[in-house]
Amino acid sequence: MRLLVTGGCGFIGSNFVRWILKEHPEDQVINLDKLTYAGNPSNLKDLEDDPRYLFIHGDICDPVDVDEAFSRDPDAVVNFAAETHVDRSIMDPSVFIQTDILGTFQLLEAVRRHQTPRFVQISTDEVYGSIERGSFDEESPLRPNSPYAASKAGGDLMVRAYFKTFGTPVLIVRSSNNYGPYQYPEKVIPLFVTNLLEGRKVPLYGDGMNVRDWLFVEDNCAAIDLILRRGVDGEIYNVGGNREITNLELTKTLLSLLDKDETYIEFVDDRLGHDRRYSLNCEKVRNLGWEARWDFLDGLRYTLEWYRENEDWWRPIKSGEFKEYYLRKYGNI
């Protein structure tokens, strides 16, 4: 397969590119990425000289950039490119609407023009909104609560419309919270791990009782790979880690793994519109033959070790653009 991956310099995208070239040595990957603050070419440094890998610096919202990538005649497109951080979407939603809705639209148009055989939209469980009990399945209504989630839902609805109206061969993957190497340190696990490695406190929102379902990034890559090859056009697939935990419990686990006590927790104001709990029914993807392989504690230990051993990856990030963002958001914590 010749795959066009968008957003391949981000967290999940870079893990996915590496996964594909390892699991399918005959495949080729074209990576179209704008290199926003979250895109880091060093995430794929090891593949720079690999003849199977091609990087194109470009924006999914720009039809010229998109056409350049599609002129390589991909067999399938996997769209990871997005603005992804809920807190930033609360500070300024506009770029989320631009990339997550209009960018998805530009890609769908290109799929139609170039008659690309397959388009996989990487979406999120956040489009369903919050659920106190039970789990969302793929038929659950979309009730997004943050500007990020609403933008992703907008992208998903456009994908659905192209399938219904034009018969565009699309699939949607909605996963729960990923964690693992190369995650930008604005997200809770890498933020807390790197703060603790720096000897700083960790800012826990509200009462810390919000629940997230954690999925090791490699398990998500395996699911996306399977859905890409075996999924049915027009279908949606939920992918969850089946590992629900409160933020407080997660924080205490990280503290104990790093030999720190609870004085390192700083309870701070809650996120606006903070979703209480996410939970997915993943029977459909399991019926395709997928299951999460990573145990949560093993995955956490592995991730923590990765951040410990790769300070030269995250320290420059934390002293750049991120520093300004952090100060604005958290002050002196």
The reply on whether position 120 binds ligand NAD by CB under 6 A is: no
The reply on whether position 126 binds ligand DAU by CB under 6 A is: yes
| Binding track, positions 70-89, relative to ligand NAD; x by CB under 6 A | ----------xxxxx-----
The rounded distance, in Å, linking the Cα atoms of 173 and 155 is 12
| Active-site annotation holds for 139 | no
**Residue type at 186?**
E
Q: Reduce the DSSP state of residue 305 to 3 states and report it.
A: helix
Interface with ligand DAU (CB under 6 A), residue from 210, 220, 238, 279: 210
Stretch touching ligand DAU by CB under 6 A, among 81-89, 104-112, 288-296, 297-305: 81-89
CB-based contacts of 287: which residues, under 8 Å, 6+ apart? Answer: none
| Residue count of the chain | 333
Interface with ligand DAU (CB under 6 A), residue from 18, 187, 243, 318: 187
The reply on whether position 103 binds ligand NAD by CB under 6 A is: yes
**Residue labelled with tokens 């926003």:** 36
Residue 132: C-alpha distances to residues 11, 211, 275, 280, 318 (Å)? 29, 9, 10, 12, 35
The reply on whether position 118 binds ligand DAU by CB under 6 A is: no
Contact 66, 114 (CB under 8 A): no
Interface with ligand NAD (CB under 6 A), residue from 3, 4, 9, 47: 9
How large is the C-alpha radius of gyration of the chain? 19
Q: Select the binding partner of residue 118 from ligand DAU, ligand NAD, none (C-beta < 5 to 8 A, by kind).
A: none
Pick 178 or 194: Cβ nearer ligand NAD: 178
| Active-site annotation holds for 126 | yes
Angle subtended by helix axes 247-257 and 296-309, to nearest 10: 60
| Active-site annotation holds for 283 | no
Q: Of 83, 126, 219, 275, which one is the catalytic site residue?
A: 126
Q: Of 148, 179, 184, 278, which one is the catalytic site residue?
A: 148
Interface with ligand DAU (CB under 6 A), residue from 9, 47, 81, 86: 86
Residue 33: count other Cβ atoms within 10 Å of its Cβ.
Answer: 27
| Binding track, positions 236-255, relative to ligand DAU; x by CB under 6 A | -----------x--------
Positions 129 through 168 that interact with ligand NAD (CB under 6 A): 152
To ligand NAD, the closest distance from the beta carbon of 175 in angstroms equals: 4
The reply on whether position 130 binds ligand DAU by CB under 6 A is: no
Maximum Cα–Cα distance across the chain: 57
Tokens of residue 240, six digits = 């969850």
To ligand NAD, the closest distance from the beta carbon of 173 in angstroms equals: 8
Residue 304: C-alpha distances to residues 12, 186, 248 (Å)? 17, 15, 17
The rounded distance, in Å, linking the Cα atoms of 247 and 209 is 6
Strands, E assignment, the chain: 2-6, 28-33, 53-57, 76-79, 119-124, 170-175, 177-179, 202-205, 211-216, 236-239, 244-246, 265-268
Binding site for ligand DAU (CB under 6 A): 84-86, 124-126, 176-177, 187-188, 191, 203-205, 210, 212, 247, 271, 278
Binding site for ligand NAD (CB under 6 A): 6-7, 9-13, 33-36, 38-39, 59-61, 80-84, 99, 103, 122, 124, 152, 175, 177-178, 184
